[in-house]
Chain A
Amino acid sequence: MALSPKADSAADNMSGVQHVVLILSGKGGVGKSTVAAQLALALRQAGKKVGILDVDLCGPSIPRMFDVEGHDVHQCPGGWVPVYPDQDQRLALMSIGFLLQARDDAVVWRGPKKNAMIKQFIGDVVWGELDYLIIDTPPGTSDEHISVVENVRQYSPDGAVLVTTPQGVAVGDVRRELTFCRKTKLPVLGVIENMSGFVCPHCTECTNVFSKGGGEALANQFNVPFLGCVPLDPQLTRSLEEGQRFVDAFPTSTAAQAIGRVAQTILQRGEQQENMDTS
């Protein structure tokens, strides 16, 4: 893997980024990357320029979700140039997935190397002017999370969106993640309950395969906003497989509308932040 050229200052590369939002969980497989990707698309629909930084070094999912696996990352004097899936460059992506030689290559690294990589991802990517930078994280409360929070703290992130599925084993892990946010003084924008119910396409019976309500109860318990339920939707899964853009392709689906509402909340918080800064 090539070393990046030294940027004059990390602050230069992040100075054009207006808002930073982290997507956290604690539990694996609840849909952080899916939510990060759909949220970014929803924000883009609202006219914003959005970047996604995928710091899941062991399991980078973002390139696949945007159908840009195998794209190269180019270097410029300021650092790494993000991958732009569209001509209009209103979506900017960075992930370790782009830096691997072959798609099956496993990143089997211990902590210190991961920390160094994350520091580079935050300081050495030439994001340019971005309204929102969404940071997709791996599950847990480990090296990656500590490094990300340490490195973005100076840019006053808007906060974290926590994703959970409704069931007990997931909520338990996400509860710990909420405590992590409190300890590190990271503001919590809210909790999303993902995979919340499945409506059988044949008989429209709703089955709560992964239970229901756990996310909402957690949000109430910790006194943080509940951002809504996103149901299981096979079309969403299929879109991700095919690198199709779900919220663009199925805007009237319950899942897309739920994501849209979360995006609105983030936008409102962002505006409040801007007003406070200018007043």
Chain B
Amino acid sequence: MERGLPKKLPIAGVKQVIVVASGKGGVGKSTTAVNLALAIAANDKGKSVGLLDADVYGPSIPRMMNLAGEPELNKQNLMKPLVNFGISCMSMGFLVDEKSPLVWRGLMVMSAVQKLLRQVSWGPLDYLVVDMPPGTGDTQLSMSQNIPIDGAVIVSTPQDIALLDARKGAEMFRKVNVPVLGLVQNMSVFQCPKCGHQTHIFGQDGAKKVAEDMELQVIGDIPLHISIRETSDSGQPVTVSQPDSPQAQAYRALAKEVVARLPSYEDPLPERGQ
């Protein structure tokens, strides 16, 4: 085995990789990753988008995308991603029983992540959105060392407690030279469905201040709306099930910002054509 750091190798067929990360748990990474992938596809019907759930301990993508079942293998023995709403998905959740915990130490997690990256026939994809687990540990390191990441989107709620961790998340990506595209302020404000009164349950505008501090921008502001949770739990993400709602529009605006901020894609083999 080669000594030293692994070499970064792009995933076959995938043009650009966007990671959705946080540092803090429970701020809505998976919800944002799912709706971001769907919104990118909705904004530009010509683009193909994939979704990789790298949260080995708490894979949420299967439920949110209403997908289940063991992936089939193709002739090359690669796993075929499961598809719903036009998005190709892969998750640890498809490979293990939903009820069993993965009580694994870091090394095993790394090898599982490798499989999810390399042993899947993603096919030609314009964008691969990766839903990261919380924290700044093995998975994040393995990802950034193994594949070129074109941009990271950091999700946080407005509270300082969440932002503290979001800062660390952003700092970690800077350390490994991954461009941070911006911050998403999730669960920013709650609007009472009965009277319309707005309450900032998790604080107000915290992300804007942190973004200024870190010389980043807030590229998305998603409200706390019961329909987002309801549609996530039922596997009908709001971006596709209620495309005209303000929530879906917020995700589409985010998708627009993300795509605009990605470095332009350079085909490494231009003479082969598109």
Q: Which residues of A contact B (CB under 8 A)?
A: 26-30, 33, 58-59, 61, 64-65, 103-112, 114, 138-143, 145-146, 165, 167-170, 172-173, 175-177, 179-180, 183-184, 198, 200-203, 205, 207-211, 232, 234, 237-238, 240-241
Contact = CB atoms under 8 A, between A and B. Distances in A.
B179 interface: no
Contacts of B229: 167, 209-211
Interface residues of B, number: 60
Given A141-B104, A183-B103, 10 more contacts: A26-B58, A28-B24, A108-B137, A108-B141, A140-B57, A142-B109, A179-B100, A198-B199, A207-B194, A238-B203
Contacts of A200: 192, 194-195, 197, 199
A176 B99 contact: yes
Contacts of B164: 59, 61, 64, 103
Contacts of A202: 192, 195, 197, 199
A61 B163 CA distance: 11
Nearest to A32: B25
Of A103, A167, A169, the most chain B CB neighbours within 10 A belong to A169
7 contacts: A27-B58, A105-B171, A112-B106, A146-B105, A169-B63, A176-B99, A183-B103
A129 to B, nearest CB: 30
A55 B142 CA distance: 22
Contact of B197 (A30, A111, A112, A203): A203
A113 B115 CA distance: 24
A62 B164 CA distance: 12
B208 interface: no
B58 A201 contact: no
A185 to B, nearest CB: 13
A108 B136 CA distance: 5
Nearest to A234: B201
B159 interface: yes
B257 interface: no
Contacts of B4: none
B25 A59 contact: yes
A1 B102 CA distance: 31
B64 A169 contact: yes
A145 B103 CA distance: 9
B126 interface: no
A106 B102 contact: no
Interface string B146-164: 0000000000010111101
B27 interface: yes
B23 A58 contact: yes
B26 interface: yes
Contact of A59 (B24, B102, B160): B24
Nearest to A169: B60
B232 interface: yes
B203 A198 contact: no
B200 A143 contact: no
A110 B141 CA distance: 8
A209 B137 CA distance: 31
Contacts of A205: 192-195
Given A106-B171, A200-B192, A180 B26 contact: no
Given A26-B58, A28-B26, A59 B159 contact: no
Contacts of B7: none
Given A176-B101, A202-B192, A104 B27 contact: no
B60 to A, nearest CB: 5
B161 A61 contact: yes
Interface in B180-236: 190, 192-195, 197, 199-203, 224, 226, 229-230, 232-233
